[in-house]
Amino acid sequence: MLNALDPESERLLHAASRAYAGGDKAGAASLARQVLLRSSGNAMALQILGVVALDAGDFTSARRHLEGSNAAKPNAATLNMIGVAANRSGDLVAARAAFTRSGEMGLVDGWRNLAISERGEAQVAAYQRAITLAPKDAASHAGLAQALEARHDVARASEHANLALRLD
């Protein structure tokens, strides 16, 4: 069972979320660090720090914070962000693993991000998994159309391109 946060930590987390949403990333990070002083390992505070680091291009810090957040409270969105940080830092093996796990947990972005990092049949398969999860996702159909076109499967590429246009 997770420990309930004290009211001040809850207030700080809410303020950090509002600060980030309002574009004050430094303020969001400062508030998140205050939460961690009160409640070390808080998943939301670590996630905020991870997203701020990711936005700043500090992929090592982003991964450290996001992996800590995911360890405290696993979720598909955090795994997907871990994949983004790993991919941007050149760790394609870790990126693929995080995107796959994110997709398996039901996040279409995980499958789409995996598809973007793949080529050939693996790319087609990842887009197909995204479409299975979200049949009306125009971006997945468009990506699959491009992947099929690259494989010279013009008929199927055209089918998915037209579907993407109708869905968009």
pLDDT in tens, 131-159: 999 999 999 999 999 999 999 999 999 99
pLDDT at residue 3 tops 70: no
Q: What is the pLDDT of residue 4?
A: 75
Say if CB 114 and CB 96 are below 8 A apart: yes
The four Cα atoms 120, 125, 127, 133 give a dihedral, to 10 degrees, of -170
* Residue 105 main-chain phi, psi, to 5 deg: -85, 0
Does the model's pTM come out above 0.95? no
Contact in structure between 20 and 51 (CB atoms under 8 Å):
yes
